[in-house]
């Protein structure tokens, strides 16, 4: 059972564009929604995270939008740059399934072309 | 420097030959976890540990063992590896127990089981 559904699996945008990656979750016990960025040969690194008491969080060029009623959240990258080319994972964490865990989406490979 | 260190980074071995992947963190984190990353499947949790001597199964525990005898170390053991365990493995840690904390990942171990 895929508890966090992420789309699209791949995305190509031109420099300066605004890629949007979407995620949907099922378990309302989740209370932490991070995004991780992964470069080739490296482990995922926390990019930005949101908790369900706010609808939007912005850090630099990265913004999370959160819709609690729809159980959806998305990552927007403003003024995207070639250096943003990476794989992005959304995740949902908390006491889902009765124990503390984090569930990841399948990942989105983003390519920003100059 | 705060980090999660995995060894080895790469390993090619044969079916049935027991192997151990080590993981060590220097941040005094309580929570540690192992994931495997496969194309199209994202990151899936294998085992996690909420503290010393406390471990539990994640989503894909079959064929793996773990132990947590010291707070900083969390080795992953494959008693009798099989080709379907060929994957990219990540160890992660977070300050406190559970899914509502940011995770720090190692740089991964690529295992090939022939």
CB within 8 Å: A44 and B43:
yes
**In this predicted model, what pLDDT tens digit does every residue of B48-64 receive, in sequence order?**
998 899 999 988 999 99
Shortest Cα distance, chain A CAs vs residue B9, angstroms? 10
Query: At residue A101, does pLDDT exceed 80?
Result: no
Mean pLDDT over B91-97 rounds to 87
pLDDT value of residue B96? 78
Q: Which of residues 79-98 of A touch B (CB under 8 A)?
A: 89, 92-96
* Averaged pLDDT of chain A: 92
pLDDT value of residue B102? 86
pLDDT value of residue B26? 96
Among A56-70, A98-112, B100-114, the least confident range: A98-112
Q: How far apart are CA A91 and CA B105, in angstroms?
A: 14
* Strands B10-13 and B109-113, bridge-based pairing: parallel
Query: At residue A10, does pLDDT exceed 90?
Result: yes
pLDDT value of residue B98? 62
Among A4-13, A95-104, B56-65, B100-109, the least confident range: A95-104
**In this predicted model, what pLDDT tens digit does every residue of A13-28 receive, in sequence order?**
999 999 999 999 998 8
Shortest Cα distance, chain B CAs vs residue A80, angstroms? 23
Q: How far apart are CA A6 and CA A75, in angstroms?
A: 11
Of A42, A93, A104, the CB nearest to B43: A104
Can you read off the two tokens belonging to residue A34? 């991070």
* Averaged pLDDT of chain B: 94
User: Tokens 């124990």 appear where?
Assistant: A99
């Amino acid at each position: 059972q895929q508890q966090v559904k992420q789309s699209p699996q791949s995305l190509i945008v031109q420099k300066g564009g605004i890629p949007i990656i979407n995620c949907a979750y099922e378990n309302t016990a989740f209370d932490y929604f991070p995004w991780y960025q992964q470069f080739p040969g490296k482990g995922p690194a926390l990019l930005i995270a949101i908790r369900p008491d706010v609808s939007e969080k912005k850090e630099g060029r990265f913004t999370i939008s959160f819709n609690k009623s729809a159980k959806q959240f998305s990552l927007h990258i403003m003024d995207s740059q070639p250096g943003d080319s990476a794989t992005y994972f959304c995740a949902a964490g908390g006491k889902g399934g009765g124990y503390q865990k984090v569930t990841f989406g399948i990942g989105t490979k983003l390519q920003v072309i100059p | 420097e705060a980090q999660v260190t995995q060894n080895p980074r790469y390993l090619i071995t044969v079916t049935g030959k027991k192997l151990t992947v080590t993981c060590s963190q220097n941040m005094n984190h309580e929570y540690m976890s192992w994931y495997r990353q496969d194309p199209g499947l994202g990151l899936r949790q294998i085992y996690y540990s909420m503290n010393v001597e406390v471990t539990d199964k994640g989503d894909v525990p079959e064929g793996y063992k773990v132990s947590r005898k010291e707070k900083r170390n969390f080795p992953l053991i494959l008693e009798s590896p099989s080709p379907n365990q060929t994957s990219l493995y990540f160890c992660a840690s977070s300050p406190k127990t559970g899914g509502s904390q940011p995770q720090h990942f190692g740089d991964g171990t690529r295992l090939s089981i022939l």
